[in-house]
């Protein structure tokens, strides 16, 4: 059955690619179980788990009571037993009740048991804004998780990666926080499934360039591509580096690119202050100190609570802000 | 093995096992679904049965329905970002608001916009969150009404804090906190109920059991036959009441509020009702429930039920209905007019009230956005 | 207003209010505090009353007490970083472990080191966490015993996961999860119990109500008269049992484990006991409780109680006691010997098992620390 | 009564200074209430609230049920009503269950109500290692909070600051996360109370120097002082900048110092990757790009779960690690 989903006639949306990845993983390994709030009959509020219960039964894809800490803890217990749970946190901000389970158990179990108890849980978190969501529906919480040793933190930006990286995440022996860029759920591409791209931990150059590197991931990749496009019209060649994986981080790819361009702009949607972009900017500034011709600048979410729908266009990084930063970088030094 | 087996085995004396008292299985009512008084049901205060009092309640029900219907139209016209309807649950909204004085605190969820306007908050302000123009459009302190809460059950501890504060301040105000059935599965619900009982805080926990948490039916939230059973474990009174019976709700809430005000501590109330609409306009209820079920509940509509009773006792007739129609229509017309014009926004708003004083970092960011805004980039970004 | 008033008012029929069945107020016993069987108490399985079975339990109690005493000595000698004693609670430790097969899962807290050694885990491995030599010293999968849990109540959802996994895998193993009385106030306790009931997962929730959460007495944790009352709200059986009565505990746990194994779902058990020592060696219990209270409980010691009964039925005499003393003394001597020598540590340990494969960043940090270590800076840093 | 505590005969420990700050604040304003786990009869596991219940009664200082989310939410409700709650999270890792209340409510309430509902709650969190604590008792979680707009995040390093900054925090109209450096609880100084030092948001130069700036806060301040002492013996003059406040951050003080020294080493105990030091390093590298003579380096906790007592000396930054970083910085460029 999964085959039918796996060879799409029409172009595929990212949401459907994720659905296909879940379906194919469940078909291949009956230890893979999917659960969370509304993932069953409804197929999830974004329809990402659509049809899985019908296809695999209530025992493989089921609705849980409304309790995120318990969803996470149940996943940990099931993983200890030998299952490979893939749980859904319905929205970014609704993963917060599960933080203690994630920080104190999911991230540490392997280490505290000297490797005796790996917990290969995949935590799917739709994240970010741009969909006109009311408060608590548009947070970007990757920085909290990336700062927590023991977790892998990844986010796809393309339809192909969405499928491939989720398969990799499910295959991973480590817990993986899988951030799904909400705004890109309905982005489309013609991809033949099952597709496999690079392994977790490797970044991808989405557009080669020579004058500056745009370092981005998830929601901001299309924005950086658009910026690079515009810049090209003015004869400025920007390199767009899609990190794909925040933890592990592909330092080599970042250094390779910045060594070439001598300039870096870090772009993400999460709050800038103390955000993951700070780690990126700090690393680049330290490791590429002698190659940098301009300060590494950051284009990120503003240091305010995510604003209401009518305001979010002012909050979200866009191509114009990226290009302003590029101008500053190019005119510097 | 079911609870019943257990209580049976218990009577044989196998072990002492706490089971829910069987007599609590039927929700408390005053009117049956046809609007006829039932035997041995709720015991309303006499004054609450006075035609004038009942008519006030009925007007409020009709008003809540009209407001909810208009809001539903507005969201379909794209005037609201999202709208979670309370259609079918109006009796809970009305009973809760009418049970409180102006000094009491109300803690609503996204589902309870009707309660906001019933408290007197202007519709534009009440719907600010769902319109997407700001997170909260009214002054929670002026209205003694907290912002509508979206992170489920997190408002529970706030109610405990408000109640405990009033108790410590020697003020007799009460906090009434709304929950949905699904949110009773959250840890915060438990922590709030348990703490409120320990503090004997003046709080009323009102669970609107509308049978679903988005698509998830009640039996996937609890194994117990009543959400009010949780009260036992908190050592507080728990009541299961028909949430579509305004008279029964008024009796139960009145008693709970009086008890809290008198220093008797919190009460947990489960109001058994039904969400007639989808979870929100964005939801597709056909994926998880049968229209037959919806039909069943349409026949238990809280408004029809009270109307039948009022008509039977001669307190309601076509003229009064016409008056009410007129009032509601006028209110909705004003709403339509108010929502027709888009307010203007300025990006500065985002930076205000993050802290009492903006940090130097925030001032710098405000400058950046102002510059874009001036240069039109701000709007540009909107496309 | 107390629950009693309420149930009274309820009988008058004011409103339907769920209250705890009065017959559940006394914890279930088999022996009174003097070791004499009580009327109409617990109903142990006949075979569990066989002298040999009882003696096995008694030996385990004595062993647990000896282990706990030795661990207390070790911490005073600075051989352990910290030690939370279970003195006075040994009957719960023994009954829980004996209720399980090797295939069943045990989820202990920091308080349950005795349960670990009762399961067969060597003392050095069981005390690794409290010795500070690693976070967990045994293989949780080999022993079907999760690492001792410190973040309160967070082990509850893990028990649900293990139980649900076994159920889905069609394996009949059961998960038994320890909690303290204080931890029942945590959200995770609620979420775990509620979810387990909904899933009908084979889990036994055993709350050791030792009357205190560090310094906070039970009446500040709950307004209910029994923690087992919480079971009502979860729609699962709840039992309140004397936690210092091994025979009653064995009966109640046996029934709960059987029910879970047979597909009957979870049970919540409150074992009423007492923590005879301070919270840990670092705690000063004099600040929050009277010695008279401690004395009261000393006279309800679980070991004396069973000893009196066994002596009365002629299953225990001085010779057997001497044998047991000898066994215990030998075990403790081995413990002393094992803890006398400090193990050696290597900083590389910290970097292992953070992930299945260390990241390049971790490898670099390991190099840095190795260099310091080689150069003696590592130790230097220790001063 | 508070006066007696307020004029110590003997040198004062940081724990007693915090106790005095609470006592004095409670004496001055009866809207100040203290609650949490074991803060009453026991006086807290670190005895920081010792005597407050005896002095002010159960209504002003009380033990709560064991439920951190509810402690935090109750504090929010009480603050809305008009009280000034000061709550204690018993240990760093035990604040995790309260994250949702902190992130989604405490941090956002003022902003989402357009200033109508400030929530002046002070959250006291004993943090960090070095006391031989078993797992979950030695975390440094400041990076999570500093990344969350709406919160002030501060931590004292001196006995005087412990008193003064807590008084400032209680006076603040904003929620303040007050990190108490566990390891320094028993550090002593002769201070006359009530003492007031600089306001929240200002850093302090603890030792002036010319060759490099050690940027630190809380637990790592004494370590940097020790490092500077050792360096001085070799004729190297290091400046030690104690941030005191992470949010708001004193950018001016940092820039002033780095402009002078041309070199910066950021030192904190929390996990380095994605930690607050990344924000500091990124800012310094961006804003002092042309003054920097060497890459900004970070000395931080290792990117592993906090290790067991017997291992923590290898985990914790110490003077030697700081001096190694100083050597690298001085030999660079
Ligand atoms: C902590 C949290 N988790 C998940 C959600 C997403 N969500 C919004 S409403 C809802 C269902 C709530 O059901 P119920 O409590 O019964 O209230 P109702 O919507 O039926 O009024 C869910 C899961 C949320 N808002 N908060
Ligand atoms: C989430 C969390 N909060 C606080 C603590 C600190 N703490 C450790 S033990 C304890 C008391 C626990 O009491 P109880 O649950 O009755 O277990 P007992 O120690 O009595 O066995 C507290 C507050 C913790 N470990 N975890
Ligand atoms: Mg519902
Ligand atoms: Mg206890």
A215 and A245 share one domain: yes
Within-domain flag for D198 = no
Q: Is residue D1 part of a domain?
A: no
- Distance between Cα B290 and ligand 1 center (Å): 21
Which of B108, B183, B275 to mutate to test ligand 1, by most ligand atoms within 8 A of the CB atom?
Answer: B183
Residue C14 has pLDDT above 50, yes or no: no
Assign A332 a pLDDT band (cuts: 50, 70, 90): confident
Do A134 and A237 fall into the same domain? Answer: no
> Can you give the pLDDT at residue A9?
52
Whether residues B306 and B380 share a domain: the answer is no
pLDDT surpasses 60 at A75: yes
Distance, in Å, from the CA atom of B237 to the CA atom of B270, rounded to the nearest integer, reads 11
Q: Which of C346, C150, A147, A119 lies closest to D302, judged by CA?
A: A147
Q: Which ligand is nearest to the CA of B112?
A: 1
- Looking at residue B26, its pLDDT comes to 82
Domain assignment present for residue B15? The answer is: no
> For chain A, which chains pass the contact test of at least 3 CB pairs under 8 Å?
B, C, D
CA distances, B333 to each of B115, B326, D104 (Å):
19, 10, 36
8 Å CB contact of A302 and B351: yes
Instruction: Tell me the average pLDDT across C40-66.
Output: 96
Residue D2 lies in a domain: no
Q: Is the minimum distance from the CB of B212 to ligand 1 under 6 angstroms?
A: yes
pLDDT tens-digit readout, B55-110 = 999 999 999 999 999 999 999 999 999 999 999 999 999 999 999 999 999 999 99
C-alpha gyration radius of chain D: 20
Whole-number Å distance between alpha carbons of B66 and B79: 17
pLDDT over 90 (residue C274):
yes
pLDDT of the residue at C25? 60
Ligand 2 atom showing the smallest separation from residue C183 Cα: 15
Whether B321 and B352 map to the same domain: the answer is no
b/e for B121-136, b at 16 or more Cβ within 10 A? bebbbbbbbbbbbbbb
Q: Are both A237 and A185 inside the same structural domain?
A: no
Q: Are residues D210 and D165 in the same domain?
A: no
Cross-chain residue pair B161–D79, CB shorter than 8 Å: yes
Neighbour-count burial for C232-260, b at 16+ CB within 10 Å, e otherwise: bbbbbbbbbbbbbbbbbbbbbbbbbbebb
Q: How far apart are CA C242 and CA C260, in angstroms?
A: 21
Confidence of residue B19 (pLDDT cuts 50, 70, 90): very low
CA of B217 to the centre of ligand 3 (A): 8
Q: What is the whole-number distance in angstroms between the Cα of residue B152 and the centre of ligand 1?
A: 6
CA C269 vs. chain centroid, Å, equals 12
Partner-chain residue, chosen from C147, C156, C168, that has the shortest CB–CB distance to A113: C147
Q: How far is CA A299 from CA A319, B75, C340, D141, D290, in A?
A: 10, 34, 58, 25, 21
Of D191, D216, D245, the residue at which a domain comes to its end is D191
Distance from CA of D265 to the nearest CA of C (A): 17
* Residue D21 falls inside a structural domain: yes
Considering only alpha carbons, which residue of chain A is nearest residue D249? A273
Distance from CA of D14 to the nearest CA of C (A): 20
| Count: domains in chain C | 2
B4 pLDDT above the threshold of 60: no
- Token pair, residue A146, equals 């990336």
Phi–psi pair at C324, nearest 5 degrees: -60, -45
- Shared domain for D160 and D253, answered yes or no, is no
Nearest-angstrom CA–CA distance, A309 and A314: 10
D309 vs A: CB within 8 A: no
Write the Ramachandran bin of C108: left for phi over 0, alpha for psi from -120 to 50, otherwise beta.
beta
Sheet containing A238-242: which strands, arranged edge to edge? A204-207, A238-242, A212-216, A264-271, A297-301
Q: Tell me, in angstroms, the distance from the centre of ligand 3 to residue D225's CA.
A: 58
Question: Cα(A326)–Cα(A320) distance, rounded to whole angstroms?
Answer: 10
Q: Are residues B100 and B180 in the same domain?
A: yes
- Number of independent structural domains in chain D: 2
C35 occurs within a structural domain: no
Separation of CA C189 and ligand 1 centre (Å): 20
Burial class (CB in 10 A: 0-12, 13-18, 19+), C43: middle
Regarding whether B226 and B335 lie in a shared domain, the answer is yes
Closest among D115, D111, D286, A320 to B369, alpha carbons compared: A320
Q: Do C355 and C246 belong to one domain?
A: no
Question: Chain D partners of B158 at a C-beta cutoff of 8 Å?
Answer: 73-74, 76-77, 80, 105
Q: Judge whether C300 lies within some domain.
A: yes
B192 and D251 within 8 Å at the Cβ level: the answer is no
Centre of ligand 2 to C-alpha C150, Å, is: 7
pLDDT at C382: 35
How many contacts (CB atoms, under 8 Å) link B and C? 184
Is D147 designated active site?
no
Structural domain ending residue among the three candidates D168, D191, D214: D191
Domain assignment present for D4 = no
User: What is the average pLDDT score of chain B?
Assistant: 92
Are C362 and D304 contacting, i.e. CB atoms less than 8 angstroms apart? yes
User: Which ligand 2 atom sits closest to the C-alpha of D96?
Assistant: 1
Tell me which chain B residues have a C-beta less than 8 angstroms from the C-beta of D78.
Answer: 161-162, 164-165
pLDDT-flagged residues of chain D (< 50): 1-6, 8
Rounded mean pLDDT of C23-48? Answer: 89
Per-residue confidence at C207, pLDDT binned at 50, 70, 90? very high
Query: B258 with B371, same domain?
Result: no
Edge-to-edge order in the sheet of strand D264-271: D204-207, D238-242, D212-216, D264-271, D297-301
Q: Is the CB of B152 under 6 A from ligand 1?
A: yes
Query: Is A2 a residue whose pLDDT tops 70?
Result: no
**Domain-located, residue A261:** yes
- DSSP-H helix ranges across D96-195: 99-100, 109-112, 142-146, 159-171
- Work out which ligand 2 atom sits closest to the CA atom of C210: 20
| B55 alpha-carbon distance from chain centroid | 21
Question: At residue A8, does pLDDT exceed 80?
Answer: no
Q: State the distance from the centre of ligand 3 to the C-alpha of B210, rounded, in angstroms.
A: 5
Confidence at residue B49, expressed as pLDDT on a 0 to 100 scale = 96
Percent above pLDDT 90 for chain B: 89
Look up the CATH number of the domain holding residue D78: 3.40.50.970
Omega before A248 cis (within 30°)? yes
Instruction: Tally A–D CB contacts below 8 A.
Output: 135
Chain B residues lying within 8 Å of D70, measured CB to CB? 156-157, 160, 188, 191-192, 194-195
C285 and C353 belong to one structural domain = no
Percent of chain C with pLDDT over 90: 89
Whether the CB of D90 sits within 6 Å of ligand 2: yes
- Which residue is closest in CA terms to ligand 1's atom 6? A90
Any CB–CB contact under 8 A between D287 and chain A?
yes
- Do D21 and D162 form a contact (C-beta atoms < 8 A)? yes
CA–centroid distance, A320 to ligand 1, in Å, is: 37
Decide if C246 is inside a domain.
yes
Band the pLDDT of C10: cuts 50, 70, 90: very low
- Whether residue C21 is predicted with pLDDT greater than 80 in this model: the reply is no
Based on the domain organization, do A276 and A167 belong to the same domain?
no
Search chain B and give the residue with CA nearest C194.
Answer: B222
**CA D38, CA D40: separation in Å to the nearest integer?**
5
Is there an atom of ligand 2 within 6 Å of C180 CB? Answer: yes
C366 assigned to some structural domain: yes
Domain containing B369 equals: 345-383
**Is there a single domain that holds both residue D82 and residue D152?**
yes
The single residue of D105, D136, D137, D152 carrying the catalytic annotation is D137
* C186 and C95 fall within a common domain: yes
pLDDT at C63 over 50: yes
What pLDDT does C18 receive? 42
Ligand 1 atom nearest the C-alpha of B150 is 25
Closest approach of D284 to chain B, Cα-based (Å): 14
Nearest to D311 by CA among A112, C304, C200: A112
Are the beta carbons of B18 and C190 separated by less than 8 Å? Answer: no
One domain, residues B243 and B362: no
The per-residue pLDDT for range C114-161, each reduced to its tens digit, is 999 999 999 999 999 999 999 999 999 999 999 999 999 999 999 999
Q: Which ligand is nearest to the Cα of residue B110, counting in written order?
A: 1
Residue B25 lies in a domain: no
Residues C272 and C359 reside in one and the same domain: no
Q: Are residues A175 and A122 in the same domain?
A: yes
CA angle (D209 as vertex; D205, D210 as ends), nearest 5: 130
Answer yes or no: do D36 and D155 share one domain. Answer: yes
Same domain, A242 and A179: no
Q: Is the per-residue pLDDT at C4 higher than 70?
A: no
Q: Which atom of ligand 2 is nearest to the CA of C186?
A: 1
Q: Does ligand 1 lie within 6 Å of residue B110's CB atom?
A: no
Question: Whose Cα sits closest to atom 21 in ligand 1?
Answer: B180
Residue C220 and residue C354 in one domain: no
Residue C265 to chain B, least CA–CA distance (Å): 8
Of the candidates D164, D191, D218, which is a domain's last residue? D191
Give the closest of D107, D150, D282 to A282, CB-based. Answer: D282
Give B-chain residues touching D249 at CB under 8 angstroms: 359, 361
| Same domain flag for A17 and A92 | yes
Check which CATH number belongs to the domain holding D219 and give it.
3.40.50.920
- Of C182, C215, C280, best ligand 2 pocket probe by most atoms within 8 Å of the beta carbon: C182
Q: What share of chain B is helix, strand, coil (3-state, %, to 5)?
A: 50, 10, 40
B214 Cβ closer than 6 Å to some ligand 1 atom: yes
B100 and B132 fall within a common domain: yes
Report pLDDT digits (tens) over A171-225. Answer: 999 999 999 999 999 999 999 999 999 999 999 999 999 999 999 999 999 999 9
- Inter-chain contact A107–D305, Cβ cutoff 8 Å? yes
In a domain, C24, yes or no: no
Is D143's Cβ below 8 Å from some Cβ in A? yes
pLDDT band at C11 (very low <50, low <70, confident <90, very high): very low
Q: Cα torsion at A107, A113, A115, A116 (round to 10°)?
A: -120
Residues A33 and A136 reside in one and the same domain:
yes
Give the domain range for residue D225: 204-330
pTM of the model: 0.96
- B contact residues 9-68, partner C, Cβ 8 Å cutoff: 13-21, 23-24, 26, 28, 40, 42-43
Residues 42-101 of D with CB under 8 A from A: 69, 93, 96-97, 99-100
Closest CA to D74 of B104, B154, C153: B154
Q: What is the CATH number of the domain that holds B114?
A: 3.40.50.970
């Amino acid at each position: 059955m999964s085959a039918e989903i796996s060879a799409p006639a029409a172009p595929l949306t990212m949401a459907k690619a994720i659905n296909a990845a879940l379906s194919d993983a469940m078909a291949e390994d009956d230890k893979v179980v999917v659960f969370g709030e509304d993932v069953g009959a409804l197929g999830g509020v974004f329809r990402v788990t659509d049809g899985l219960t019908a296809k695999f039964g209530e025992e493989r894809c089921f609705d849980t009571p409304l309790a995120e800490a318990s969803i996470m803890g149940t996943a940990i217990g099931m993983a200890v037993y030998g299952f490979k749970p893939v749980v859904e946190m319905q929205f970014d901000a609704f993963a917060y009740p599960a933080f203690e389970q994630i920080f104190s158990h999911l991230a540490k179990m392997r280490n505290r048991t000297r490797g005796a108890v790996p917990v290969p849980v995949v935590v799917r978190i739709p994240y970010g804004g741009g969909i006109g969501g009311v408060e608590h529906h548009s947070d970007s919480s990757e920085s909290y998780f990336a700062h927590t040793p023991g977790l892998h933190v990844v986010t796809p930006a393309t339809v192909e990666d969405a499928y491939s990286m989720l398969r990799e995440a499910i295959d991973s022996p480590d817990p993986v926080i899988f951030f799904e860029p909400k705004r890109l759920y309905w982005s489309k591409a013609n991809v033949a499934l099952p597709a496999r791209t690079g392994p977790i931990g490797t970044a991808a150059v989405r557009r080669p360039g020579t004058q500056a590197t745009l370092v981005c991931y998830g929601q901001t990749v299309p924005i950086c591509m658009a910026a690079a496009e515009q810049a090209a019209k003015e004869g400025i060649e920007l390199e767009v580096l899609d990190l794909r994986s925040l933890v592990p981080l592909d330092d080599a790819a970042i250094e390779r690119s910045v060594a070439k361009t001598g300039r870096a702009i870090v772009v993400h949607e999460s709050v800038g202050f103390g955000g993951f972009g700070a780690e990126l900017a700090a690393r680049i500034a330290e490791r590429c100190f002698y190659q940098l011709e301009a300060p590494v600048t950051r284009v990120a979410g503003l240091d305010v609570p995510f604003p209401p729908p009518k305001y979010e266009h002012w909050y979200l990084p866009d191509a114009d802000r990226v290009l302003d930063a590029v101008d500053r970088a190019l005119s510097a030094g | 093995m079911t609870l019943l087996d257990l209580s049976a085995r218990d009577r044989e004396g196998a072990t002492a096992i706490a089971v829910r008292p069987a007599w609590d299985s039927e929700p408390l009512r005053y009117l049956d679904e046809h609007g006829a008084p039932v035997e041995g049901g709720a015991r309303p205060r006499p004054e609450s049965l006075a035609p004038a009092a009942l008519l006030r309640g009925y007007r409020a029900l009709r008003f809540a329905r009209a407001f909810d219907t208009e809001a539903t139209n507005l969201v379909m016209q794209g005037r609201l970002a999202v709208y979670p309807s309370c259609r079918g649950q109006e009796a809970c909204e009305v009973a809760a608001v009418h049970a409180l004085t102006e000094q009491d605190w109300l803690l609503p969820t996204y589902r309870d916009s009707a309660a906001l306007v019933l408290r007197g908050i202007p519709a534009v302000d009440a719907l600010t969150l769902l319109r997407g123009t700001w997170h909260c459009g009214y002054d929670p302190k002026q209205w003694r009404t907290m912002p509508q809460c979206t992170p489920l059950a997190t408002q529970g501890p706030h109610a405990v804090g408000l109640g405990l504060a009033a108790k410590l301040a020697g003020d007799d105000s009460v906090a009434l906190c709304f929950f949905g059935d699904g949110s009773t599965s959250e840890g915060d619900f438990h922590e709030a109920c348990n703490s409120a009982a320990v503090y004997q805080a003046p709080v009323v926990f009102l669970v609107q059991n509308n049978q679903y948490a988005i698509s998830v039916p009640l039996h996937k939230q609890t194994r117990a036959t009543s959400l009010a059973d949780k009260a036992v474990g908190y050592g507080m009174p728990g009541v299961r009441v028909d949430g579509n019976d305004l008279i029964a709700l008024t009796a139960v809430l009145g008693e709970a509020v009086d008890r809290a005000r008198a220093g008797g501590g919190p009460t947990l109330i489960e109001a058994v009702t039904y969400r007639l609409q989808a979870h929100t306009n964005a939801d597709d209820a056909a994926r998880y429930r049968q229209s037959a079920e919806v039909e069943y509940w349409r026949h238990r509509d809280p408004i029809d039920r009270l109307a039948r009773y009022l008509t039977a006792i001669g307190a309601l007739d076509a003229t009064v209905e016409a008056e009410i129609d007129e009032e509601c229509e006028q209110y909705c017309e004003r709403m339509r007019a108010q929502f027709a014009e888009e307010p203007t926004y300025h990006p500065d708003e985002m930076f205000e009230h993050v802290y009492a004083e903006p940090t130097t970092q925030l001032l710098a960011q405000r400058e950046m956005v102002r510059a874009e805004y001036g240069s039109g980039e701000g709007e540009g970004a909107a496309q």
